[in-house]
Amino acid sequence: KNQVEQSPQSLIILEGKNCTLQCNYTVSPFSNLRWYKQDTGRGPVSLTIMTFSENTKSNGRYTATLDADTKQSSLHITASQLSDSASYICVVSSVSGYSTLTFGKGTMLLVSP
Amino acid sequence: NAGVTQTPKFQVLKTGQSMTLQCAQDMNHNSMYWYRQDPGMGLRLIYYSASEGTTDKGEVPNGYNVSRLNKREFSLRLESAAPSQTSVYFCASSGGNGYGYTFGSGTRLTVV
């Protein structure tokens, strides 16, 4: 069964600090990996998307990495801001079937002043 | 603004009542999806429509029906609501190969 595991489940950091969120997956066959940010009461919004051949991708202060050999990804947030407080969801797409997405449960990040 | 629009944003139903959640997208996407999100769980696919005129079951379809009214609109119907269907429902749409995946802002449904 395809699975996406994220850690930690929740995280509190001080404003201005950096943090790294982890994602491990067992999805086959692999198509791409996405990171989404979900603010409370809102729908998920795409941060990055990486295919098999991409090791890293940045979107402003967000940098995602992918190791397709170990099936691991990370999302690094630099110089955190209060507005970064949200749930961060790792999503892996499989080419089996029609654009099948497997969602992680998310990491809840709280940035404290 | 381009995107996915869901209505209503909030709804409270009594057990056994029926209702339809509406979703519309203006990005000319072929594919549309309905998910539910429950505490402590990842989003789970209820139904999807790969293209206009087609619909298929996802991971948790029981208790739901869908209609792809046209390319823009994809509705989700609960015929006889149950407390287990209390959840936040998200509609999404995507272009070819699943790219451009965009979510709506969600419908928070409570069944009492």
Q: What is the 3-state secondary structure (H, E, C) of B24-87?
A: EECCCCCEEEEEEECCCCCCEEEEEECCCCCCEECCCCCCEEEEECCCCEEEEEECCCCHHHCE
Query: What's the confidence (pLDDT) of residue B108?
Result: 96
- Cβ distance A98 to B31 less than 8 Å, yes or no, reads yes
Distance of CA A39 to the CA centre of its chain: 14
C-alpha separations of B8 from B5, B106, B112 in Å: 9, 9, 17
Q: Which residues of A touch B45 (CB under 8 A)?
A: 101
- Sign, CA torsion B95/B101/B104/B106: positive
To which H or E segment does residue A101 belong?
strand A100-103
- How do residues A83-110 score in pLDDT, each as one tens digit? 999 999 999 988 755 567 899 999 999 9
Contact assessment for residue A99 and residue B94, using Cβ atoms and an 8 Å cutoff: yes
Of A41, A44, A93, which has the smallest distance from its Cβ to B98's Cβ? A93
- Cβ distance B105 to A102 less than 8 Å, yes or no, reads no
Q: In the predicted model, what is the mean pLDDT of residues A11-15?
A: 97
Q: In the predicted model, what is the mean pLDDT of residues A41-69?
A: 94
Query: Testing the interface with B: which of A3, A101, A107 to mutate, by most B Cβ within 10 A?
Result: A101
Contact assessment for residue B93 and residue B4, using Cβ atoms and an 8 Å cutoff: yes
Q: In the predicted model, what is the mean pLDDT of residues A5-27?
A: 97
Q: How far is the C-alpha of B5 from the C-alpha of B30, rounded, in Å?
A: 16
Q: In the predicted model, what is the mean pLDDT of residues A32-61?
A: 93
Nearest chain B residue to A3 by CA: give it: B42
Q: Which residues of A touch B106 (CB under 8 A)?
A: 41-43
Of A44, A89, A99, which has the smallest distance from its Cβ to B98's Cβ? A99
Nearest to A92 by CA among A39, A30, A5, A21: A30
- Cβ distance A101 to B4 less than 8 Å, yes or no, reads no
Query: What's the confidence (pLDDT) of residue A104?
Result: 95
- Cβ distance A43 to B106 less than 8 Å, yes or no, reads yes
Residues in B whose CB is inside 8 Å of some CB of A read 4, 31, 40-45, 48, 50, 56, 90, 92, 94, 97-99, 101-106
Task: Work out the percent of chain B whose per-residue pLDDT is above 90.
Answer: 80
Mean confidence (pLDDT) of chain B: 93
Q: In the predicted model, what is the mean pLDDT of residues A7-31?
A: 95
Contact assessment for residue B34 and residue B42, using Cβ atoms and an 8 Å cutoff: no
Q: Which residues of B touch A4 (CB under 8 A)?
A: 42
What secondary structure letter does DSSP report for A94? E
The shortest C-alpha distance from B90 to chain A (Å) reads: 7
Q: Reply yes or no on whether the pLDDT at B96 is more than 70.
A: no
Q: How far is the C-alpha of B44 from the C-alpha of A48, rounded, in Å?
A: 21
Question: Rounded to 10 degrees, what is the CA torsion of A45, A51, A53, A59?
Answer: -10
Nearest to A54 by CA among A33, A74, A78, A25: A33
Best mean pLDDT range from A63-72, B40-49, B95-104: A63-72
